[in-house]
C-alpha cells in the first residue's frame, strides 16, 4: 500500500519548485542534484509534467522549469492523477470489478472511511500547503 516511485518523485519535484519561487527557473541538473533523483529519469518525469500543464519549460541555454499555475491551484491529487496513482472513486480495494451497493467486497465497509479521508487529504492539499515543510526535499 504505497504511492509509486514516479508519483513520489513528481510530488517532491513540484513541492521543491514551489518552495523556490525566488528563482525564476530551475534546471533539471539542479533538481536532480537537490532531490537526489536520477537525472535521466527526472527529465522524463519533467516532460510529463510539462505535457500535463503543471510546469512550463524554457528550452536552450539559461533555460529551465517553473510552475505554470499558482501553487495553491495544484493539488496533490492532480499530480497523482497524471501517473494513474490516485484513489479512484469506484475502485475496489480487493480488486473486484463490481464492488458497490448491490455486491460489495469483504472490506468494502471498513475501507470507506480511510478511503474518504485519504481522498480528502490528497484533494485538499495544494503545493502551497506542502511546500517548505520539513527538510525541503
Partner DNA sequence: AATTAACTCTACCTTTAGGTAGTAATTTAA
Partner DNA sequence: TTAAATTACTACCTAAAGGTAGAGTTAATT
| Strands 64-67 and 55-58, bridge-based pairing | antiparallel
Q: Which listed option, DNA, its own copies, none, makes contact with residue 104 (CB within 5 to 8 Å by class)?
A: its own copies
d(CA 124, CA 43): 27
Looking at the DSSP assignment, which residues form a beta bridge with residue 75? 126
The interface mask with its own copies, positions 59-98, x = CB under 8 A, is -----------------x---x----xxx---x-xxxx--
Residue whose C-alpha is closest to residue 17's, from 129, 134, 127: 127
Consecutive H or E run containing 36? none
Cβ 101 to DNA shortest distance, Å: 26
Among 69, 104, 123, 128, binds its own copies (CB under 8 A): 104
Q: Which listed option, its own copies, DNA, none, makes contact with residue 109 (CB within 5 to 8 Å by class)?
A: its own copies
Q: What angle do CA 87, 92, 97 make, to 5 degrees?
A: 125
Q: Which is nearer to DNA, 36 or 102 (CB)?
A: 36
C-alpha cell at 33: 542534484
Q: Which listed option, its own copies, DNA, none, makes contact with residue 46 (CB within 5 to 8 Å by class)?
A: DNA
C-alpha cell at 31: 533538481
Q: Which residues bind its own copies (CB under 8 A)?
A: 1-3, 5, 8-9, 11-12, 15, 76, 80, 85-87, 91, 93-96, 99, 103-111, 113-114, 117-118, 121, 125, 129-137
Amino acid at each position: 500500500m504505497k504511492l509509486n516511485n514516479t508519483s513520489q518523485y513528481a510530488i517532491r519535484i513540484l513541492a521543491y519548485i514551489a518552495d523556490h519561487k525566488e528563482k525564476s527557473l530551475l534546471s533539471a541538473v539542479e533538481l536532480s542534484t537537490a532531490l537526489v533523483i536520477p537525472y535521466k529519469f527526472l527529465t522524463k518525469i519533467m516532460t510529463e509534467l510539462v505535457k500535463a500543464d503543471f510546469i512550463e519549460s524554457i528550452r536552450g541555454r539559461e533555460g529551465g522549469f517553473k510552475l505554470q499555475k499558482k501553487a495553491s491551484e495544484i493539488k496533490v491529487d492532480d499530480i497523482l492523477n497524471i501517473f494513474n496513482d490516485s484513489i479512484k472513486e469506484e475502485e475496489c480495494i480487493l480488486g473486484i470489478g463490481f464492488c458497490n451497493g448491490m455486491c460489495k467486497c469483504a472490506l468494502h465497509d471498513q475501507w470507506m472511511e480511510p478511503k474518504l479521508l485519504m481522498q480528502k487529504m490528497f484533494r485538499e492539499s495544494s503545493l502551497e500547503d506542502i511546500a517548505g515543510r520539513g527538510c525541503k526535499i
